[in-house]
Amino acid sequence: MTRTADFVLPLFTVIFGSTASTMSAIILFIVIYHQHKNRIKQEERIILIICVNIYFCIFFSSTMLLILNIETLLGDLYGLNFDSTPCVFLGYLNAVLICTFFYGFVTQAFYRLCRIVYPSYKWLQAYWIYIFAAPVQFISACLIMCPIYFWHAVVYMPGLYHCFVPVQNILGTVWLIIFMYGLPVFCLSVVYIRITRYIRQQSTSQTLATKHRQARDFVVIKRI
């Protein structure tokens, strides 16, 4: 029974990873095509760039998930051993991609903060800033996740047939929790609390268009 469960879970994950990779690739193509073919305002272009950034992260993360679970399936079926230096690097890269994905939402939140709270600082809404955001996120994630690589926290896990940080490695696990999940969630919380307080404190002397835009932003933020 356990053997069947160990096989079925990676199989479903492979199917999910394949679907996520395909869907994100299709959406990426549609967004890029839309931006290329239509003349759109700078604000809309920045929003599309941020969407492309996030969907690139989804595509690469789901592709990595697919690769790792294919290794698990092959290990379950044929007893293959993937313990090697490339396996360790893939485990590290998996952590980097997940980290990049979460920091993509921080970039999105930063843009909303600049657009709503600091609209007079036009340079913070410059198109080129968000063009460079994706490579900066990836490089930052590589640096943030470097310690788990040099600490040899990423190891081969025979039961899963791929490499990652096992929960038994306390230092590596704590590092992932704090810097992969904790820090982005903290940044998102601070930014959206700041935006929410700003919207609530606005005077009633605003134009109808401004009120409508802020009401729309407030609905989005409450859903987040």
Report the CATH number at residue 43.
1.20.1070.10
Provide the pLDDT for residue 202: 74
Provide the pLDDT for residue 224: 46
Q: Is residue 90 situated within a structural domain?
A: yes
Provide the pLDDT for residue 91: 96
Q: Is residue 6 situated within a structural domain?
A: yes
Provide the pLDDT for residue 122: 84
Provide the pLDDT for residue 214: 57
Provide the pLDDT for residue 1: 44
Q: Is residue 208 situated within a structural domain?
A: no
Q: Is residue 121 situated within a structural domain?
A: yes
Count: domains in the chain: 1
Q: Nearest-CA neighbor of 157 among 98, 60, 93, 91? A: 91
Q: Is residue 85 situated within a structural domain?
A: yes
Q: How far lies 153's CA from each of 42, 58, 161, in Å?
A: 43, 24, 16
Provide the pLDDT for residue 37: 74
Provide the pLDDT for residue 193: 93
- Per the DSSP assignment, residues forming a β-bridge with 94 are none
Q: Is residue 210 situated within a structural domain?
A: no
Q: Is residue 122 situated within a structural domain?
A: yes
Which residues, given as ranges, of the chain have pLDDT below 50? 1-2, 224
Provide the pLDDT for residue 217: 57
Provide the pLDDT for residue 183: 96
Q: Is residue 205 situated within a structural domain?
A: no
Provide the pLDDT for residue 166: 95
134: domain range?
Answer: 2-181
Q: Which two tokens stand for residue 108?
A: 């999105």
